[in-house]
A and B are shown apart, each in its own frame.
Chain A
């Protein structure tokens, strides 16, 4: 049955002989394209300025790349450690951390990493700072002994012949003879032989050469390696006394003598040096924290935003005296509801009056509503400070008429009361305007009809007029509620400590504590809360009932 209809449809053609279906589809497509071109500027604008930042924020709230990027060797080395073993990681991990940390310290990334880890465990910031100041001394004991063994170990050239690939040496020599200041030295390449025979030394030396070239804009041919490079060489020669076999000539000889001498060296371990620099490195907690946050993504910020944290025993709530975010989310919601209601109670009669006055006086009143709306937010907020403070106008009047005593002046500002009063005032037009535009369209004949059928004033209002204003209430309430949830300037200025909102903490983490990840997580949660409220609202009132005019 359906086959036959589709067959007949295919047979239909337009006057120029094309199948009707194709022609129709083409016309439709053209129309869609035209529509797309018309909205393209807006679409592009929304994508660039709205969607992209939100996606970026979502991404930032789980991002933890700073740990694996700053400590790549440690992160790999930690794979072999069992954090539940109750023992500190082995020397291999400590040596990897030493190598990572000196490179991070040279690039000045270790303080930022410390700040990052400090969000998860107090004390990490100072631990990284302190150790960063001392890490270039780690392994000094080996440097001295190598140098005592043979002066050649001081020479940058020795190290280059030991570590660099032949191609790089050739390219570097060419660059040096050219003497062209504008050209940069070719990037250092470590030789295969070195990687084979002295793997750890090759690794850290390559890191050293890279830092020297990129950060200091110097050449590895002119700089003596850092102390940790000597420590790594010691480790490699102990592990592989036959390393010299991969080399020839003077270098091999030098390496062979060193290999023979190292077992007699006075030695220390990276572990000892770290614990010596700061005893916290001997604490299991520090290492477990590092282990938990070694991945490129983390749920840590979201947990923190919900007053929880990851510990060795799984997810736990933070100590009671540090739980603030759930409290702030609740306070933001409660105060926003209060503000919405007070806007409604104050705004409804005004909108009613406006819509029932003759146009001339209504316009005048409308200007009174809009005038403060056009005044700067800061000015209005500051005006409230003058009015509400304890020695302010309102308290003075109350004292003057004897409602309160001079000693018992009301605390109307720098607390939640101040926030509610100031924000109700600021958001009032957002309630009045939609209400007014809805009321304006309600025909007075309905109320008149109700009254003519015997309704009292109240019944006529409540059963006939009020239901018709619900779309306006809905629009006003959604506007005011969502605006107030995200407000932060007014609460910051008049809210003291008990009237601040969650957005104040977001602003604080963005500009003061620099914990952008937590700010992003809090922002995302706030977005989720708003969306949830919206869904609930849609279920209760129905979003198609909202009318702005």
Chain B
């Protein structure tokens, strides 16, 4: 009797687990506060509506291109939806690893009936990229760590001014953004940056400028590092994503100030891996339609200070879900923050990334 009931229970649990397995959806993201905001705004409400679907998170977005390539070579793509930055989406699209889609078919229209392709507008930078948020890489500093009498930094060039602002600074361990800032601070006009960077001399010039602070830089590869280093007093200023600074300043009450100068706009969004089987694709499409509608994108902004990627979502951005702080002024798109924006050129980096990455990495090691 007892054995029988155990067997029955086992069989039942096997049956349910295999049923649950069939409805699993693996979403890849960046972890941390950002993934939490996606969970709160998208997957939790979605799972409430679809109790038979289980979302499994994988925090591998920073290695998404490598892993998708490997999965493609092995002929077994286990991911259903991948969160990547725009440049990676373009690479994946170019290599045929991401699925091309039709915005008006896959994404929901705005509440006033504007088709999605218009509502998202230029932010659909690639045929495979489903934009979600606008974020920016920008600098922050600790006013209490500045030397006596030094003015508070107003421009990104403070990063290169070790005389006025002695001490370590933290920059991302890759050429993107750093090369541009180096050139801007070496006197190149913002609109000419990529023309200069395209030449051998221009690249040498950027490296020469970076050379002047090479010994003072702690290089980061995870965006959570600079806020931590700044909180520890290890550095006087650093670059990171504006959402990370926001959570340090507003949620953790750190004495940081943000430097909205030459902040670099970038996009983050979804791609659907190419070659998904029909049933999984149908499930992903259904989720994407849900997660990219106007209200949902605005909802995400209640958890992290990243701007929603569709125009119609902007007016719906409200207060922080827990702290009740108005989110609008903390967005990279807020007019007072966006005065000195630097527009990052994806196309250019798609072409030059291989070259400059190699040069930058050997420059770093030497």
Contact = CB atoms under 8 A, between A and B. Distances in A.
B96 interface: yes
Contacts of B233: 391
Interface string B251-295: 000000000000000000000000000000000000000000000
A389 B361 contact: no
B359 A126 contact: no
A512 B91 CA distance: 13
A296 interface: no
A393 to B, nearest CB: 11
Contacts of A324: 361-362, 365-366
A126 B95 contact: no
B219 A115 contact: no
Given A123-B355, A391-B233, A108 B95 contact: yes
A464 interface: no
B351 A126 contact: yes
Interface residues of B, number: 29
Given A391-B232, A514-B65, A496 B94 contact: no
Given A111-B95, A126-B351, A126-B352, A500 B234 contact: no
Contacts of B218: 414, 496
A513 interface: yes
A497 B351 contact: no
Nearest to A492: B221
A125 B354 contact: yes
Nearest to A133: B94
B69 A514 contact: yes
A118 B359 CA distance: 12
A111 B65 CA distance: 13
A444 to B, nearest CB: 50
Contacts of A126: 351-352, 355
B83 to A, nearest CB: 17
Contacts of B366: 321, 324, 327
A118 B355 contact: yes
B94 A321 contact: no
Contact of A389 (B69, B234, B352): B234
Main secondary structure of the interface of B (DSSP, over half): helix
A85 interface: no
A283 B192 CA distance: 27
Contacts of A246: none
A5 B84 CA distance: 79
Interface string A484-513: 000000000000110010000100101111
A265 to B, nearest CB: 34
B7 interface: no
B351 A122 contact: no
A328 interface: yes
B364 interface: yes
A512 B66 contact: yes
B334 interface: no
A342 interface: no
Contacts of B91: 111
User: Which of B63, B65, B234 has its CB near the most chain A CB atoms (within 10 A)?
Assistant: B234
B363 interface: yes
B326 interface: no
Contacts of A321: 362-363, 366
A324 B366 CA distance: 7
B354 A115 contact: yes
A126 B354 CA distance: 9
Given A126-B352, A129-B351, A391-B234, A497 B362 contact: no
B219 A112 contact: no
B114 to A, nearest CB: 30
B10 interface: no
B66 A328 contact: no
A322 interface: yes
B95 A511 contact: no
Given A108-B95, A112-B95, A122-B358, A130 B69 contact: no
A328 B365 contact: yes
A109 B232 CA distance: 47
Interface in B61-75: 63, 65-66, 69
B95 A389 contact: no
Contacts of A322: 358-359, 362
Given A511-B63, A511-B66, A389 B354 contact: no
B133 to A, nearest CB: 23
B66 A107 contact: no
Nearest to A124: B354
Interface in A113-131: 114-115, 118, 122-123, 125-126, 129-130
Interface in A311-325: 321-324
A502 B354 CA distance: 20
Given A108-B94, A115-B354, A497 B66 contact: no
Interface string A323-363: 11001100000000000000000000000000000000000
Contacts of A191: none
A513 B357 contact: yes
B350 interface: yes
Contacts of B232: 389, 391-392
A324 B352 CA distance: 21
A508 B353 CA distance: 15
Contacts of A505: 365
A118 B362 contact: no
A85 B174 CA distance: 41
A508 B95 contact: no
A390 interface: yes
Nearest to B219: A497
Contacts of A115: 354
Interface string B332-344: 0000000000000
Contacts of A111: 91, 94-95
B350 A129 contact: yes
A522 B365 CA distance: 16
Nearest to B348: A126
A125 B356 CA distance: 11
B68 to A, nearest CB: 10
Nearest to A320: B366
A479 B326 CA distance: 57
A512 to B, nearest CB: 7
Contact of A118 (B65, B350, B354, B365): B354
Contacts of B94: 108, 111, 129
Contacts of A496: 218-219
Contact of B358 (A389, A414, A513): A513
A317 to B, nearest CB: 13
B217 to A, nearest CB: 9
B234 A125 contact: no
B66 A514 contact: yes
A126 to B, nearest CB: 4
Contacts of A513: 354, 357-358, 361
A541 B40 CA distance: 61
Interface of B: 63, 65-66, 69, 91, 94-96, 168, 218-219, 232-234, 350-355, 357-359, 361-366
Given A108-B94, A391-B234, 6 more contacts: A109-B96, A111-B94, A125-B353, A129-B94, A324-B366, A414-B218
11 contacts: A112-B95, A114-B354, A125-B353, A126-B355, A321-B362, A391-B232, A505-B365, A511-B63, A511-B66, A512-B63, A514-B66
Give 7 closest A-B pairs by Cβ, nearest first. Answer: A108-B96, A126-B351, A125-B354, A111-B94, A391-B233, A118-B354, A324-B365
Interface of A: 107-109, 111-112, 114-115, 118, 122-123, 125-126, 129-130, 321-324, 327-328, 389-392, 414, 496-497, 500, 505, 508, 510-514
